[in-house]
Each structure stands twice: as C-alpha cells, then as structure tokens.
Amino acid sequence: MNPARHPTDTIAAVATATGRGGIGVVRVSGSRAADVALGVLGRLPPARTASFLKFLAADGAVLDHGIALWFAAPASYTGEDVLELHGHGGSAVLQAVLARCFELGARPARPGEFTERAFLNDRIDLAQAEAVADLIDASTSSAARAAMRSLDGEFSRHVHQLEDALVNLRLFVEATLDFPEEDVEFIEQAGARHKLDEVMRAVGALRERARCGSVLRDGLTVVLAGAPNVGKSSLLNALSGEDRAIVTDIAGTTRDTLRELISIDGVPLHIIDTAGLRETTDPVEQAGIARTKRELDRAHAVVHLIDATTGFDAAARLIDEGLPDGLKRIRVFNKIDLTDDSPHSERAGDVVSLWLSAREGSGLDLLRATLLDCIGWHGGAEDALSARARHLHALDASIGRLDAARACIAGTVLQLDLFAEELRLAHRALGDITGEFTPDDLLGEIFSRFCIGK
C-alpha cells in the first residue's frame, strides 16, 4: 500500500442517521483518540468493555450520560485507536459531544473516511469496503444477504483463489520461456490448456454470481408505457399493493412520471408509471410525454400496455415501433375482465405478450414471473455476491484476457510470451476488484459516496 495514503490525523463524526432517535453514536478514530477519551470521559475506558460514563464539556459540565467503548489499535474497525460514545439520539446533544471532540484535536470526518481507513490499514479490502455501503443501502433482504456475503469476504476469497491459480500458471510459463525448444512438451505435460479452461469457467461462474448481486444491489428499471387510459396507473397500484397513482377514466390524467420500488422474489424493481403516449397540443401533457421518452431511454425493460378490448391496433403498433431499439419489452393486454380472455402468455421471437386484468389482479403473478425472465433473472439470490459495475467490468476484462491467452496456445505454433502477458493482464484485472491496483482518484470517488460516520 502506498505510504502516502495513510493518514495520521484524528477524525470524528456522528455515526447514526440524521434526525431524532433513542440512541446516537459519535465515533472517533486516529492517533489522538485517547486524548479525546480523556477529555470527554475523564479517563480511558478499559478496551472492548462497555462503560457507563458522563460525557463532559471543557468546564466539567455534563453534556450527556451514555456508553463509552474503547478499541485500541490495531484491533478496531479502522485499525487505529477508536472511541465510540453512545448517548441519547437528539441532534443538539450529539452535536455538543461532537464539538467537544473537535476541541480536543479531532477534525470532521469526510463521507466514508472511517471505512477508507479500514481499507488503507488492511482491515478489509476494497470489495469488502464497498459491501459496507451496499449493506447500509440494501432495499431488500436478498440484497442485504448478498452484501453480507461480500462483507464477510466471500467475494474476495474467490477472487484470491483465481489469482492464485493464475500465479501458478504464470510460474509454469515464465519457467518455460527460458527453454523455448520445450514449448509443446510444456503445454502437454503441464496441462496448461486444461488449467486455463478451469480458470475461465471459474471466472465465468463468479461473474454470474456478481451479476446477480449487482441486480439485487441496484435493481432494474421497468417503464410502464402505452396510450392514455390503457391501465398503466392501475397496474402500478396493483403491483405495489397501494393506491400510489391516480386512476380515472379521463385520458391524460398522468402528466408526470411516478416511481415505485417493488420486490419480486427479492429482486428490487423500479416501476415507473408514465404519461400516455399520444399526439396532443396540451403543453403540460407534451412535457409529460417527453419525460416518458427519456425514461424509456434509461430503462432495462418496458411493459407496453394495450387495451385488450381493442387489441394491437394501429395506435398500439405506432407506439411499439417508437420504442427504443434493443429495449426488452413485454406487451401486456390489460382489461381482460371486459373480454372473454383468461390470463395467459405467448412468445413471438424476443417479445412476450400476456393477458391480465390490473383491476381484478388476475394474471399479476404471470407478469411478475415474466418480468424476472425478461431481465434474465433465473434465481441465484441465495448465493449472489454484492457487486458493482466496476466489479463486473473487471471480471469481463479478465475473461477477455483469458480468451486472448487461450488463443495464444490453441494451435501448434505457440506464443508463450504473449500467453504470459495475457495471464498477467487477467491477473491485474482481478486485482482491481480487491483494490490491489486501484488508483487513488478512484478510491476517492468510491468512498465519497458513503454516508458520513461510516
């Protein structure tokens, strides 16, 4: 680790959420944490033992009563001396205690700085550090469990196992480069192709677990689109289980986008109700339609609602043709309570059509299953690993380098020097996940998105 990265000053922050609560925590970390403890508590509490003490101002006045916890370095979250003051959760009292810590030599912590120090002091790696934020932000229990797996180091352990396998393969290659006349014999006796194939399968399997975790972490955006009065708002209400959107028989009731987060089998889906798509001279409705089109450009999938009583008519066809190319789509024929249809689905190429009634709730389970299938979710929450876009990019880069390495030894003419280089680059891509090769500017970007106090 770069020594210049290691800070020496002392930081402090309120570690609990903003607002009023029963308990509030002020956290202090750094070389002067013991001085802060002496100033606030009058003594240094025994390590890793809860002590009920008074929190004192500079003149000896009592700011609060609470629990003090002392963690001596390196056996702490950050790897530094850490003091935690657990008092009452009112904003005024917490700010008074925090101000006292600043008087004693601490400075305000930046967002994510405690976790950043844990990373810099080798208490956790970068994937685990990011899992801390993912656990805090988890919107479903499945996402929380995936984040906990990564925080416990499961993701990192798999990455390290892959790195070890690549190191062993690279050692064989580097040794053989000194004896080029034995190239073919090396490939056969060392089983290089077989070992490389095993690593590629393992990276692919880890990539799939990470993809599932990324879906659980970020969720997917699904836009409800269609002509006015086809039942988009009714469907949003039915999926969310609440009357979130106004439903009337008047076309153009929905003028703006309305977002609702729902969970299907633990997968968070951001469902967006939009203004009906049609030609209009109403400037407010035109603005709503423009927003609908912007949401479609950002969506992972679209549910194109169609009135089952009129079917896939010219107006529905015109809307369908105007949807962005490559966007996964589901055609939903709504209002089957007014027809003789029953809930069912049909597939034609990449487009799935299904029939339901948002008003009566019939066919909703079919839609939920179709949504998961449309986005490529086939289970996996039970072993998903919390991951971010940069992790997936690193795994994709590693897979690409391994493919290139495979090509170097695929034929009878071996290119062992290029083979060794591709293995090195695949190894480096994996190292980006845990932070072994992560530049400082990326670290700053990652930790700046954490909450203050964590």
Q: Check which CATH number belongs to the domain holding 90 and give it.
A: 3.30.1360.120
- Flag whether 228 is in a domain: yes
Q: Which two tokens stand for residue 92?
A: 């005024």
Total residues found in the chain within this entry: 454
Phi, psi angle pair for 133, to nearest 5°:
-65, -40
Query: What pLDDT is stored for residue 247 in this prediction?
Result: 45
Same domain? For 159 and 93 the reply is: no
Same domain? For 343 and 197 the reply is: yes
Residues pairing with 305 in the sheet: 226, 332
Same domain? For 62 and 159 the reply is: no
- Flag whether 174 is in a domain: yes
Cα angle for residues 358, 363, 368 (degrees, 5° grid): 95
In this prediction, residue 281 has a pLDDT band, given cuts at 50, 70 and 90, of: low
**Domain range enclosing 258:** 140-434
Same domain? For 81 and 155 the reply is: no
Q: Roughly how many angstroms between the first and final C-alpha of the chain, as a whole number?
A: 21
- Flag whether 411 is in a domain: yes
Domain boundary among 125, 152, 167: 125
Where is average pLDDT lowest: 25-34, 364-373, 406-415? 406-415
Which whole number is the average pLDDT over 123-137? Answer: 93
Structure confidence by residue, pLDDT tens digits, 211-264: 999 888 888 889 888 888 888 888 988 888 765 544 444 444 444 568 888 888
Edge-to-edge strands, sheet with 82-89: 51-56, 62-71, 82-89, 21-29, 11-14, 107-108
pTM: 0.80
Q: Which two tokens stand for residue 379?
A: 């289970």
Residues 403 and 418: their CA atoms lie apart, in Å, by 12
Tell me if 81 sits within 8 A of 72, measured CB to CB: yes
**DSSP secondary structure letter of residue 452:** T
Tell me if 257 sits within 8 A of 272, measured CB to CB: yes
- Flag whether 450 is in a domain: no
Same domain? For 109 and 146 the reply is: no
Same domain? For 188 and 317 the reply is: yes
Same domain? For 198 and 312 the reply is: yes
Q: Provide the percentage of residues in the chain whose pLDDT is more than 70.
A: 86
Query: What pLDDT is stored for residue 187 in this prediction?
Result: 62
Query: What pLDDT is stored for residue 147 in this prediction?
Result: 93
- Flag whether 52 is in a domain: yes
Is 80 exceeded by the pLDDT of residue 200?
Answer: yes
Same domain? For 116 and 150 the reply is: no
Same domain? For 321 and 235 the reply is: yes
Amino acid at 423: L
In this prediction, residue 289 has a pLDDT band, given cuts at 50, 70 and 90, of: low
Q: Please tell me whether residue 27 adopts helix, strand or coil conformation.
A: strand
Domain boundary among 66, 94, 125: 125
CATH of the domain at 255: 3.40.50.300
Structure confidence by residue, pLDDT tens digits, 48-96: 999 999 999 999 999 999 999 999 999 999 999 999 999 999 999 999 9
Same domain? For 118 and 147 the reply is: no
Is 70 exceeded by the pLDDT of residue 4?
Answer: no
In this prediction, residue 283 has a pLDDT band, given cuts at 50, 70 and 90, of: low
Same domain? For 69 and 184 the reply is: no
Is 60 exceeded by the pLDDT of residue 284?
Answer: no
- Flag whether 220 is in a domain: yes
Report the number of distinct structural domains present in the chain. 2
Residues pairing with 89 in the sheet: 21
- Flag whether 448 is in a domain: no
Query: What pLDDT is stored for residue 3 in this prediction?
Result: 41
Same domain? For 298 and 269 the reply is: yes
Tell me if 26 sits within 8 A of 12, measured CB to CB: yes
